[in-house]
């Protein structure tokens, strides 16, 4: 029996960006600050949000496991 394979497809398309620019004064001259935000489709926004949430979940799980190992220290301090 052949095991199923995972296939990753990467679709590359040109991005367009929303620009938010402003100028601030530095010590000797003016500095232009420009923030670029990609214009994403609704599906791309949801995928980006899912990836961020997944990454945060992994971080929280990591620290939760770490805190479980140190829980006896908290109980001793009470």
- Give pLDDT tens digits for 20-77: 999 999 888 999 999 999 899 999 999 999 999 998 988 888 888 777 766 555 555 5
Q: Which of 16, 14, 12 is nearest to 38 (CA)?
A: 16
Residue 5: which pLDDT band, with cuts at 50, 70 and 90? confident
pLDDT for the residue 53? 93
Q: Does 3 score more than 90 pLDDT?
A: no
Report pLDDT for 6.
76
Q: Are the beta carbons of 36 and 16 closer than 8 angstroms?
A: no
Whose CA is closest to 32, among 43, 21, 19? Answer: 21
pLDDT at 74: 53
């Amino acid at each position: 029996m052949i095991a199923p394979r995972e296939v990753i497809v990467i679709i590359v398309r040109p991005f367009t960006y929303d620009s938010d620019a402003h100028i601030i004064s530095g010590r000797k001259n003016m500095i232009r600050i420009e923030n670029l935000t990609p214009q994403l489709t609704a599906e791309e926004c949801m995928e980006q949000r899912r990836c961020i949430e997944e990454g945060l979940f992994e971080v929280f799980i990591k620290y939760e496991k770490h805190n479980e190992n140190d829980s006896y220290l908290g109980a001793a301090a009470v």
